[in-house]
C-alpha cells in the first residue's frame, strides 16, 4: 500500500502595529468537522514537499508568492491514518511573511480564519496533537527570528 504524502504549514504573519508575529489558524467547514488547524494539504505527483507547502498556502489563504519572506522545513514528519483509512506521511513547515492580509477562504475547505497571538495558543487551539506539536516547534523558531 502506498503512503499518501501531505504537508502542514504554520503561517506567521507580522502584525506591523505591534511588531509581533501572529499565527494564522483556519477553521474547517462543517462537512470537514468545524475545527481549527494550520494550512494542510496533499503533495501532488512529481511535486516536492516545499512546492506543495507553498501551493497549499496560496490556495487556502490567497497569499502571493512575493509576500513569502521564508519557508522553513521544521524537520517534523508525522505518520497517521486519515479519515478515509489511508496511511499518511505529513511534512511540517513554517512560512514567515511580513504582513497579515485578508484571507480568501475556500468554502469547500474552510469557514473562518483567525490571526492568533502566539502566547494565547494552547493545545486546545487545534484539534490534532500533530498540529500542536508543529505549532510549538514553529513558535520556538519565530521567537528566535524576532530577537
pLDDT of res. 12? 97
Q: What is the pLDDT of residues 94-104, one digit of tens each?
A: 999 999 988 99
Residue with cell 480568501: 104
Provide the pLDDT for residue 145. Answer: 67
Question: Which residue stretches of the chain are H helix?
Answer: 49-61, 129-146
Confidence at residue 42, expressed as pLDDT on a 0 to 100 scale: 96
Tens digits of residue pLDDT in 58-91: 999 999 999 999 999 999 999 999 888 999 999 9
Give the domain range for residue 22.
4-146
Amino acid 84: pLDDT = 85
Q: How many Cβ atoms are within 10 Å of 16's Cβ, its own excluded?
A: 10
Please count the structural domains in the chain. Answer: 1
pLDDT on residue 95: 98
C-alpha span between 133 and 47 (Å, rounded):
25
Tell how many helices (H) and how many strands (E) occur in the chain. 2, 7
Evaluate if residue 147 carries a pLDDT over 60.
no
Greater confidence, 144 or 67? 67
Q: What is the pLDDT of residues 16-64, one digit of tens each?
A: 998 899 999 999 999 999 999 999 999 999 999 999 999 999 999 999 9
Helix, strand, coil percentages for the chain (3-state, nearest 5):
30, 40, 30
CA 122 from centre of chain:
15
Q: Pick from 147, 1, 2, 145: which is nearest to 74 by CA? A: 145
In whole angstroms, what separates CA 10 from the centre of its chain?
3
- What is the pTM (predicted TM-score) of this model? 0.94
Rg (the chain; Cα; Å): 14
- Res 146: pLDDT: 66
**CATH number where 138 lies:** 3.90.79.10
Amino acid at each position: 500500500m502506498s503512503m499518501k504524502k501531505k504537508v502542514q504549514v504554520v503561517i506567521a504573519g507580522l502584525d506591523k502595529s505591534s511588531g509581533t508575529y501572529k499565527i494564522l489558524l483556519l477553521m474547517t467547514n462543517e462537512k470537514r468537522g468545524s475545527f481549527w488547524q494550520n494550512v494542510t494539504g496533499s503533495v501532488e505527483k512529481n511535486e516536492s514537499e516545499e512546492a506543495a507547502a507553498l501551493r497549499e498556502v496560496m490556495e487556502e489563504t490567497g497569499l502571493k508568492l512575493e509576500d513569502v519572506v521564508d519557508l522553513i522545513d521544521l524537520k517534523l514528519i508525522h505518520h497517521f491514518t486519515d479519515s478515509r483509512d489511508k496511511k499518511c506521511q505529513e511534512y511540517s513547515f513554517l512560512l514567515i511573511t511580513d504582513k497579515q492580509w485578508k484571507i480568501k477562504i475556500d468554502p469547500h475547505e474552510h469557514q473562518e480564519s483567525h490571526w492568533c497571538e502566539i502566547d494565547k495558543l494552547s493545545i486546545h487551539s487545534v484539534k490534532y496533537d500533530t498540529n500542536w506539536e508543529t505549532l510549538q516547534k514553529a513558535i520556538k523558531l519565530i521567537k528566535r527570528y524576532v530577537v
